[in-house]
Amino acid sequence: MKTAICPGSFDPVTLGHMDIINRARKLFDHTIVAVLVNPEKHTAFTVEERINMLERCTRAMDDVEVVGFDGLIADYARIRDAAAIVKGLRAMSDFEYEFQMALFNKKLNPELETVYLNTTAENMFLSSSGIKQVACFGGDISNFVPECILQDIEQRLCAGGKRK
């Protein structure tokens, strides 16, 4: 069985994230969505909330597992016997960063491959930070996030850029 890991902060989950997860499922037998704790990022949602949102978004996907993870993804991939890391790319700037990370991961775990999936044109502009900004100012984010978590995001963020 070929396993892939889709790592990310998912703060919050976007339709772009869901597109990459669904496409990874077509390539691999088992997809682990790893919610990473990144000390450099200030998150709007706790890791537990992000895991919960992803579990709700992937509830009907028997071949998807959602986990929290803190540490090196190369080590976690070895522990889980994952063949690949799957990353979505929106722009050349994404590629530069992800290419560097892939080289680190390959050095740390020579058996691990990185697979890049280009985003679809309709998701190319989506980012979690952009969605949070739109939501904070009262904008409509219903076309950017899965419907099952829309209310969670709207309740956390409010118009005027202030947190509830």
Tens of pLDDT along 51-64?
Answer: 999 999 999 999 99
Question: Is 9 flagged in the annotation as binding?
Answer: yes
Every domain of the chain and the residues it spans: 1-123
Tens of pLDDT along 62-91?
Answer: 999 999 999 999 999 999 999 999 999 987
Mean pLDDT across the chain, nearest whole number?
Answer: 92
The pLDDT of 8-21, averaged and rounded, is 96
Q: Please give the order of strands across the beta sheet that includes 84-89.
A: 64-69, 30-36, 3-8, 84-89, 113-118
Residue 41 annotated as catalytic = yes
What is the topology classification, in CATH, of domain 1-123?
Rossmann fold (3.40.50)
Residue 132 annotated as catalytic = no
Crossing angle of helices 147-156 and 128-136, rounded to 10°: 60
pLDDT band at 42 (very low <50, low <70, confident <90, very high): confident
At residue 160, φ and ψ (nearest 5 deg) are 90, 0
Residue 59 annotated as catalytic = no
Question: Is 73 flagged in the annotation as binding?
Answer: yes
Residues 58-69 as b or e (16 or more Cβ within 10 Å = b): beeeeebbbeeb
Residue 142 annotated as catalytic = no
Q: Pick the catalytic residue: 2, 41, 59, 107?
A: 41
Q: Pick the catalytic residue: 30, 50, 128, 132?
A: 128
